[in-house]
Amino acid sequence: MSVDSSVSNEVQSESVLLCPQGTTAAPEQKLLCIFGTGDLGRSLGQRLLQCGYGVVYGSRRPNSCGPLPWGTKAMNHEAAAMSAALVFVCVHRENYDFLEALAPQLNGKVLVDVSNNLKKNLYPESNAEYLQRLIPGADVVKAFNTLSAWSLQNGPSDANRQVYLCGNSVQAKQAVEEMATKLGFAALDRGSLSAAGELEDFPLQLFPEWRLPLRVAVGLTAFFFFYLLMRDVVYTYVEKRKDISFRIMVSLANKVFPIVSLIMLALCYLPGVIAAYLQLYRGTKYRRFPDWLDRWMLCRKQLGLIALGFAFLHVFYTLIIPIRYYVRFRITESTISKIRENRTSVFDTTTAWRADSFYSMGILGFGLFVLLGISSLPSVSNALSWREFSFIQSKLGYLTVFFCTLHTYLYGWDKFLYLSSYKWFTPPGYLLSLVVPSVLIVLKLLLLLPCVDRSLTRIRQGWERTDPEDGSVKALLT
Ligand code: NAP
């Protein structure tokens, strides 16, 4: 596929030169055409120029289309289309009608459709398929629509290195892929042009994989906030006629955050354990997990990151405890009353052990939790081997759950034994927060039993307990 860099005399006379003659594209430069001098057209033109391409713009108003990247030319659409073999259509789909009249000039060219829509399912066919229908003689490739004008201008970074593309012509896709690579992007082929609708839906998605974890976080936070509000503040007011509502801001918040964090951390590891039991029960790894489990597994990273956010809040709220007015007041008052009454307190070694262990488990748990968060960053995880990544995320992950759970057990200590802890017959919040992580730890420990672990490892290596066809026992496949 050769890209014609020579512009006919006729074309030259219609074109508007946007830079001095001496600085026009060198003869060996590949010339690419961009229809549309809007935001995306300009950013794309700028980027192409930086990467050594020559750029001509096709515009309705070549003489008054505003400032374009230095070194580019603006022409009418016919002239621009004839000057290059690859044309970017940086125009909204609603305005594609003008292209139909350009069919003779666009036949045999590669048309790159970058367009997106404002809503899903706005049109019966994708924009790229519509474009292909308008110009059947061209090879339409859907690409670059998932990048913003801003990211195109600034060049690829870790977060937006991918350019998804699809199209019916292999050669046309190759030409676009080559150009995307030259621009510093990683091209990912999504198949034929029928995949264009899917690509056009990508930019319309709003944090799809964060939705479920955020709902869980909001639900848990709201539940525990009202639960603790009733147990702590309302109960004290109703039963003791004491107003401790000021505790809502720090004390209550600092109970809700660690509870939600611990439950969400456990929820992040629970689907993996459920999946293992399901594989053991079915005796094969080749059957699909139920949809709910699949969805749960896919949002584990987000569950973990939100849990880490709550853990950070818990740490910050804990750090301000010594400077709180209420705490300072209570310490001063207790010291003064002891002096007045000439009382001393006896040092309790058990309490000292418990308090130190409680803090130590909390610090270790939080430290490992931060490590898990860091290793989930794409730039870090990309630098790790699969074994290193799974060691951190799995082994250290369960250790984190263990430390954080122990931290909570040490916080509660023997409180659960006293009836006074069950205000209005409700268990304390920390006790509720221990249910999921404790179940997780017990289930995980059972999986680590040598006989169970052996069976699970065999299943994960491909062994199946029974043949689905004839029911006979299969031997190890490895
Ligand atoms: P824009 O700033 O509105 O520019 C669109 C350009 O289309 C105009 O500058 C105009 O160029 C041309 N145009 C307008 N009406 C026309 C008509 N009736 N007939 C022919 N040409 C017409 O839009 P944009 O942000 O660059 O987006 C262009 C396309 O890229 C859209 O399909 C959009 O979905 C897609 N996209 C944009 C971004 C982004 O970040 N902006 C990201 C991904 C995809 P002339 O005046 O020179 O003719």
pLDDT in tens, 460-472: 999 998 755 555 4
Nearest Cα residue to atom 38 of ligand 1: 148
The pLDDT assigned to 2 comes to 40
**Candidate from 33, 75, 91 with most ligand 1 atoms within 8 A of CB, to mutate:** 91
- Ligand 1 pocket residue status of 199, Cβ below 6 Å: no
Mean pLDDT taken over the chain: 90
pLDDT of residue 207: 83
For ligand 1, whether the C-beta of 40 sits within 6 Å is: yes
Q: How far is the CA of 175 from the centre of ligand 1 (A)?
A: 23
What are the φ and ψ backbone dihedral angles of 334, each rounded to 5 degrees?
Answer: -65, -40
CA angle 166, 140, 66 (to 5 degrees): 110
Q: Which atom of ligand 1 is nearest to the CA of 62?
A: 47
Q: pLDDT digits over 445-461, tens only?
A: 999 999 999 999 999 99
Q: Is the CB of 143 under 6 A from ligand 1?
A: no
Return the pLDDT at 205. 85
CA triple 425-428-434, angle to 5 deg: 125
Q: Return the closest-CA partner of residue 368 out of 391, 396, 388.
A: 396
For the chain, give the percent of residues with pLDDT over 70. Answer: 91
* Number of residues assigned to the chain: 478
> In this predicted structure, what is the pLDDT of residue 163?
93
| Range name among 9-23, 47-61, 252-266 with the lowest pLDDT average | 9-23
Q: Which distant-in-sequence residues (6+ apart) come within 8 Å of 15 by Cβ?
A: 7, 56, 62, 73, 74, 75, 79
Pair 217, 265: CB distance under 8 Å: no
* pLDDT at 95 > cutoff 90: yes
DSSP string, 146-170: TS-HHHHHH---GGG-EEEEEES-H
pLDDT at residue 26, rounded to an integer = 47
Q: Give the closest residue (by CA) to ligand 1 atom 1.
A: 38
Closest by CA position to 1, among listed 78, 100, 104, 111: 111
Going across the sheet that includes 86-89, the strands are 16-17, 73-75, 54-58, 31-35, 86-89, 110-113, 139-143, 162-167, 186-189
Specify the pLDDT at position 157: 65
Mutation choice for ligand 1 from 34, 55, 92, 122, CB with most ligand atoms inside 8 A: 92
Question: Of 13-17, 90-94, 330-334, 339-343, which range is least confident?
Answer: 13-17
- Tell whether ligand 1 has an atom less than 6 A from the beta carbon of residue 149: yes
pLDDT at 332 over 70: yes
The residue contributing the CA closest to ligand 1 atom 33 is 115
Task: Give the ligand 1 atom nearest the CA of 77.
Answer: 48
Backbone angles phi, psi at 81, to 5 degrees: -60, -35
Dihedrals phi, psi of 55, to nearest 5 degrees = -130, 130
Closest protein CA for atom 35 of ligand 1? 115
Q: Which residue has the higher pLDDT, 329 or 378?
A: 329
Residue 477 has pLDDT above 70, yes or no: no
If you measure from the C-alpha of residue 7 to the centroid of ligand 1, how many angstroms do you get, rounded to a whole number?
24
For residue 246 the two structure tokens come to 């000021």
Residue 35: the pLDDT is: 97
Q: What is the pLDDT of residue 473?
A: 45
Q: What pLDDT, on a 0 to 100 scale, did the predictor assign at position 152?
A: 85
364 Cα distance to chain centroid:
26
Residue 378, pLDDT score = 84
Residue having the nearest C-alpha atom to atom 12 of ligand 1 = 36
Residue 160 near ligand 1, beta carbon < 6 Å: no
**Cα 49 from Cα 55, distance rounded (Å):** 7
Task: Please write the tens of the pLDDT for every residue from 262-320.
Answer: 999 999 999 999 999 999 999 999 999 999 999 999 999 999 999 999 999 999 999 99
Q: Whose CA is nearest to atom 16 of ligand 1?
A: 95
Instruction: Give the CB-side neighbour count of residue 154, counting CA atoms within 13 A.
Output: 10
In a 3-state reduction of DSSP, which class is residue 117?
coil
pTM over 0.75: no
- pLDDT number for residue 474: 47
Q: Which residue has the tokens 């896919």?
A: 298
412 lines ligand 1 (CB under 6 A): no
Q: Is residue 383 pLDDT above 70, yes or no?
A: yes
In the DSSP assignment, the letter for residue 50 is H
Is the pLDDT at 322 greater than 90, yes or no?
yes
Give 15's pLDDT tier (boundaries 50, 70, 90). Answer: very low
Separation of CA 53 and ligand 1 centre (Å): 21
- pLDDT above 50 for 3: no
Average pLDDT over residues 106-124: 95
- DSSP annotation string for 186-232: EEEE--SGGGHHHHHHGGG--SGGGHHHHHHHHHHHHHHHHHHIIII
Question: Each residue of 345-374: pLDDT tens digit?
Answer: 899 999 999 999 999 999 999 999 999 999
Q: Compute the distance from residue 444 Cα to the ligand 1 centre, in Å.
A: 55
Tell me: pLDDT of 159 over 80. Answer: no
Phi, psi of 325 (to 5 degrees): -60, -45
9 pLDDT band, cuts 50/70/90, is: very low
Which is the closest atom of ligand 1 to the Cα of 37? 47
Closest CA relative to residue 369, chosen from 268, 218, 255, 222: 268
